[in-house]
Chains A and B, each alone.
Chain A
Amino acid sequence: MLIYKTKSRIIFEIFNYLLFTVFSLSIVLPFLNIIAISLSSNSAVGSGKVQFWPVGFHLMAYGKIVTNWGFITSFMNSVFLTVVNTILVVGIALLAGYALASKHMIGKKIFFIYIIIPMYFNGGIIPLYLLVNKLKLTNSYLALILPVIISPFYIMVFRNNIVNNIPRDLLESAEIDGAGEFTILLKVVIPLLLPVIIAFSVMSAVTYWNEWYYCLLFIRDNTKWTLQYRVKHILTLYELTDAPRSPIKMIKTTEKIHGQSIRMAALMVSILPIMLIYPFMQKYFIHGIVVGAVKG
């Protein structure tokens, strides 16, 4: 079908395409720039010649970063915390959501209110900070796990999904077959909720991978830093040093590598896992926000 376009429509479309091209470039070009800096020679970076293509290409900044003891430790910490926290936040929410959806549950209304209140009100950061100190969790991985693995929102979405989308008969027939609550959850509910579970898992994993705030608040011991906090540290330091324990492996700006190259290399490596999964996970990210929108 031929669509007749008025002159003003054509002008609008040109303007529109131009606008979105500029917007997209404003996101892509800074990345090209920092990648180029991370790959350029000391003199090129120092004299401000690097734009969107490496000048005096080398991989030494990346070499420095991926062999740095502190960086590796933090990377492993973040992998560990991301996996553990994601499993826990989704697992705990599934358990609670299932229980709240079950007709055998008692005191549903009270539990409901109890779980909803923290969505709207909290004590603020200082009381939490004092509490974590009081519980002697400071400098412990537990301070990066326990406060962040409950999501009232996930619990409610799981509960609503079970109530609305899983036929009563299905759950009852499993019960008649003698299946216990955990078996029903595992064999019937989880397979049916899989799209939501994956969406929440992916969203959570990104959040935990990006975690640095609780690390700033609670962790002094740099062997327990998360990767993003390490990157924050590397970005703000003027001299780049490794942990005091291994002074031999100090990251130093050498004649060939500019400090800025090392900083940008650290930044790029820290977002690499997100960049790698992003193309495949995009639909789950969107699914997650649509679920959220319907609920909210």
Chain B
Amino acid sequence: MGDGSLISVKRNRFTKKTFALLLMVLPAVVLLFVFNYLPMYGIIVAFKDFEPYRGFIKSPWTSMHGFKHFVTFLTDETFWKVLKNTIVISVSDIVFGFTAPILFALLANEITNKHFKKTVQTISYLPHFLSYVVVGGIFTQILSPDGGIVNIILQNVFGVEPVYFLTRKEMFVPIAVIVDIWKSTGFSAILYFATIAGIDSSLYEAAQIDGAGRLRQTIHVTIPGMIPIIVLMFLLRLSGIFVVGFDRIYNLQNTMNYETSEVISTYVFHRGVEQSQYSLTTAVGLVQSLLGFILLLVGNKISSKYAKLGIY
């Protein structure tokens, strides 16, 4: 840095300034400690038989060297069903929900009418800003067998009897995937729009001189330009394969579709919060986040390796 020694002496001295600065980080440090670090410590209840009046520390350790709850849920048939549902929804989300914004950005990039493009973008971003309570409410209404618009249209056009969409368990996964696409495709595409906008325009000019049409430009310039960010997003997404968000599922769930709709997050809520099986569900949550963490590390490794290969 080339700073004089005088300044570096000053920097290390505890002055009034330093005190003011410490005061400034204090709220963040305290709140992070209470609401982030203490719950991390609270994971300890996964290895204990938690008794509310005894608290985190004094509750007794479980049998099996503290691993009783892990053995319990790993040998529980319901858990494996829930895990299967989670992975089925997650993989479907990746196949359809992850690719939708990429296609959206690529295709929207081909829209030549500026007003049309702007209108489409404005409309498509909107659902992102609504809560899943609202989105769930909208879909429950339009899919209702009792005056829902989808059934009205199906009946008028195809003469089909009303379909009980949300109570048929085989329809839950497609519905959940469609709801996700409906809500987040437009907004997620912003990232890809930004990526496309950042591609060097001289590459397109060079491609044009070589006689490439729009399609060939897309294949040979646009898509390669997007690949690094797609790979990065994909690896991030992959690390969340054991996580299906609570909000979407909970707001589409009902007792009739439980068998296919119950995922880890809702299972933890139902068993933990509603049935007070705190230790068991903390154990489930711990395994879930450890798996996610490992996948993130692996993904990170692959991505840095790939980035090296890709660029140089």
The chain A residues found within 8 Å of chain B, CB to CB, are 6, 9, 12-13, 16-17, 19-20, 23-24, 26-31, 33-34, 37, 45-48, 50-52, 92-93, 95-96, 98-100, 102-106, 111, 114-115, 117-118, 120-131, 133-135, 146-147, 149-150, 152, 155, 180-182, 185, 206, 210-213, 217, 228-229, 231-232, 235, 260, 263-264, 267, 270-271, 274, 278-279, 282, 285-286, 289-290, 293
Contact with A along B87-128 (1 / 0, CB 8 A): 000000000000000000001101110001001101111110
Bound-state Cα–Cα, A181 to B15, Å:
12
The answer to whether A129 and B21 touch (CB under 8 A), given A124-B285, A263-B137, A285-B125, is no
B279-293 residues with Cβ-Cβ distance < 8 A to A are 281-282, 285-286, 288-289, 293
Given contacts A106-B18, A130-B45, A181-B17, contact A228 B131 (CB under 8 A): yes
B134:A231 contact, CB within 8 angstroms: yes
Contact of A104 among B15, B120, B124, B149 (CB under 8 A): B15
Contact of B126 among A27, A45, A125 (CB under 8 A): A27
By a CB distance below 8 angstroms, the chain B residues around A232 are 133, 137, 251
Q: Give 6 A-B contacts (CB < 8 Å), ordered by A residue.
A: A52-B149, A96-B24, A122-B40, A126-B42, A131-B34, A278-B126
Contacts of B108 in A (CB 8 A): 20
B interface residue count range (under 10 / 10 to 19 / 20 to 34 / 35 or more): 35 or more
- Cα A212 to Cα B250 with chains together (Å): 12
Interface 1/0s, chain B 181-220, versus A by CB < 8 A?
A: 0100101001100100000000000000000011000000
User: Across the interface, which residues of A come within 8 angstroms of B116, CB to CB?
Assistant: 17, 20
Write the nearest CB–CB distance from A185 to chain B, whole angstroms.
8
CB-defined contacts of B29 to chain A, threshold 8 Å: 96, 111, 114
Known: A16-B110, A128-B35, A213-B246. A29 touches B149 (CB 8 A): yes
Interchain nearest-CB distance for A224 vs B (Å): 17
Q: Is the beta-carbon distance between A124 and B123 smaller than 8 angstroms?
A: no
